[in-house]
Structure 1
Amino acid sequence: MSFADEDYPAVPYPGRRPPVSYVHDDATGWELTPGPAASSGWCAEGRDLDDWLAARGASPLRDRVPLLCYGSNACPSKLTWLRDALGLRGPAVLFRARCTDIAAVWACGPRVVDDQRPATLAALPGNTEHHAVWFATAEQVAVLDRCEGRGERYRLARVDTGEVRLADGTVVDGPLAYVAAAPRRMPLLVGENSENDGKPVRCLDVPQSGAAALTGTPASTDGLTVREITGTPEPADFPGRVFVYGTLQPGASDWWRLEPHAAGNPRAAVVRGTLYDTGLGYPALQPGDGPGVPGWVVDLAEPAVALSTLDEYEGAEYLRVRVASPGGEPCWTYVWNGPVGGLSKLTGAWGTADPSRR
């Protein structure tokens, strides 16, 4: 399914947004659907999303960072404005997400470009809303930095409050978001004695026509627990863990390569897919609706450093992708980058990994 910008106008702020995950380019959006057999985990126009992106000369999902969009950046017409006004390039990949314990609320001051009131993010226990997670390239983040006034109006930070869960069940832990950096972008507190007793107003509850007329005072805090980002965010940090199922498992022959990078104890886990015996002394994981592949989740002290080492070790035979355990915990892992015809399936775990031999 595809749609045009005209179906989702940007005015009034924050604009209309599709009720689905989508990829956007050339003033057109295409619906994204979960694809268990796709290396990216998603499909566009019936193809693996990574293949769809490659056909347009664009970066795959593994080279993008997850950015929570709770205002106009989830609106297709706004994306076209970013292209025309600020030079945004390449397809924008946005996944619909269920967000709990956080909310888009009206900010204290109006926008710079007009008199409309913008949204800001705030903690709100018990609340549930649907927003979007934009998996953005470094160049796209740089454009958004300019648009959002990074360092002046908003800060770019990882948000550790609440839960952000994609339509395929994957939890995006610590997603990036633009959070208030100045009083005029703090939540507006409305009501009598608003400095002490006022409440923020959810964007879902009051439209822009009513939000512009709200009066109150800026909150002293948005209530969020965040980790501010300096410089350009690193895709390898999202997530900061890896799922291993072969020679890199604890106790297996090449655990010594991964062990120095581990933070804490490995955890047993299973990811979706099928395991094959390559006959070369190491196994191959193929994503899909197979019996499941058992292995170990290893948290990484410095993900970018660790994954660089593992990328070199795995070589061209494997492709590093993001996957999730049945509970939705996201991990990096390495999937077989070749055909599996002629390879025998493994019905259980590979090798004799033993985490007690750390």
Structure 2
Amino acid sequence: MFSDADYPALPYPGGCPAFSYVHVDGHGWPLRADPAGWRVGDVELDAWLTEHGAPVQAERVPVLAYGSNACPSKLTWLRAELAMPGPMVVLRARCEGLAAVWAAGLRVVDTSRPAVLAALPGTESHAVLLATPAQVRAIDRCEGRGERHHLARVLSGRVTLENGAVLDRVLAYVGATPARRPLLVDGAMVRCSAPASPGVAATTDGLTVEVVTGDPDPRDFPGSLFVYGTLQPGASAWDVLAPAAVGPPRRARVRGELFDTGQGYPALRLGDGPGVSGWVIDLASAESLAVIDEYEGSQYRRVRAVLDDGSLCWTYEWIAPDDGLIALAEPWPSHPPMG
């Protein structure tokens, strides 16, 4: 465990742990990744969040933090000054083709020059906040969403978490005014790892983005579903999923183990194991997951899983009792057996 005093907010952008962590009430706890998911010590992260009365990971959205928002002391300030509720999950991330650079203008609260996001070659380490919609609204107020910054999906670069997950179209606050465009000194952007000197505002940050309106929906991140049992193409419940599918299904595999429940459908346990084969289905909209949630029922929970290629997908993990489960050596058939 660590305290805010270990990572002060000043000088801007403040101190940030070189590891993933969860933070609440002025203290943080390191997170570690294993094949079954993130853990606080020996406790599964979702169980830890539930113990603290907070939404689980599936009810949060990924927001790239490249300035002060990954600083524990800043998180405490957001709670005290802007009523940001509950624990925050902060995941260490490797950003390729994305950089924190100095902005042309100054911060509202002092004369410091803030960081802005830009497209630049190379790799930098930053963080991804797993934030609830209520937490995003507090950060919106801090960032001046719609005035100084836009909240947008970033289509540029590549963001990879410590567990190998590659985030598709991660959210980030990007500059919305000339004062929040990158600073140019001698015609080049200046990374925040170097000191700034007088210059001019760039005409562009080089990013390709999609500006988000309203609250981001956690179900949109990611926009695809990994299926391994009765929802597979050609299997008995494919008709439930087919209306929500966009484009052709793709073969994929996750780390874990598959079991026969003895009830006509399989159970997936993520983690160490021989691996489970299935299909990835791109979804037409986040709303379509509500139908699948209802179909899967209380025996499963919807979680984000990392595929063999690093892609992140929704899938349904078995949470009912293990009694009677039999390990399967072969994938669940996509087509009903013949004869």
TM-score by length of 1: 0.92
Aligned counterparts, 1:1-358, within 5 A: 2-37=1-36, 41-125=37-121, 127-191=122-186, 198-206=187-195, 211=196, 214-302=197-285, 304-353=286-335
- Please state how far the C-alpha of 1:35 moved relative to its aligned partner: 3.0
Amino acid aligned to 1:235:
P
CA contact (8 A) 1:35 1:48 kept: no
Query: How many residue pairs are counted as aligned between the two chains?
Result: 336
Flag structure 2 segments of 5+ consecutive residues without an equivalent. Answer: none
Amino acid aligned to 2:127:
A
Within 1, Cα distance between the matches of 2:250 and 2:182? Answer: 39
- Please state how far the C-alpha of 1:16 moved relative to its aligned partner: 0.9
Amino acid aligned to 1:267:
R
Q: Deviations over 1:77-121 (max 9, x none)?
A: 111111111111100100000000010000000100000000000
- Please state how far the C-alpha of 1:343 moved relative to its aligned partner: 1.3
CA contact (8 A) 1:319 1:335 kept: yes
Structure 1: which 4+ aligned runs deviate by more than 6 Å?
none
Amino acid aligned to 2:58:
R
Amino acid aligned to 1:110:
L
Q: CA RMSD in A?
A: 1.0
Q: Deviations over 1:118-155 (max 9, x none)?
A: 00000012x10000000000110000000000011000
TM-score by length of 2: 0.98
Amino acid aligned to 2:217:
E
SS of 1:156's equivalent in the other structure is strand
SS of 2:2's equivalent in the other structure is strand
CA contact (8 A) 2:261 2:324 kept: no
SS of 1:88's equivalent in the other structure is coil
- Please state how far the C-alpha of 1:45 moved relative to its aligned partner: 2.6
Could you tell me the percent identity over the aligned residues?
59
Q: Deviations over 1:154-185 (max 9, x none)?
A: 00000010100000100111110000000000
- Is the strand fraction higher in 1 or 2? 2
CA contact (8 A) 1:276 1:340 kept: no
CA contact (8 A) 1:273 1:286 kept: yes
Amino acid aligned to 2:226:
F
CA contact (8 A) 2:23 2:89 kept: yes
Amino acid aligned to 1:119:
A
Within 2, Cα distance between the matches of 1:51 and 1:280? Answer: 27
CA contact (8 A) 2:92 2:128 kept: yes
Amino acid aligned to 2:123:
T
Flag structure 1 segments of 5+ consecutive residues without an equivalent. Answer: 192-197
SS of 2:91's equivalent in the other structure is strand
Q: Deviations over 1:254-288 (max 9, x none)?
A: 11111111111000011011000001000000111
Amino acid aligned to 1:328:
G
CA contact (8 A) 2:266 2:332 kept: yes
CA contact (8 A) 1:8 1:75 kept: yes
Within 1, Cα distance between the matches of 2:159 and 2:250? Answer: 22
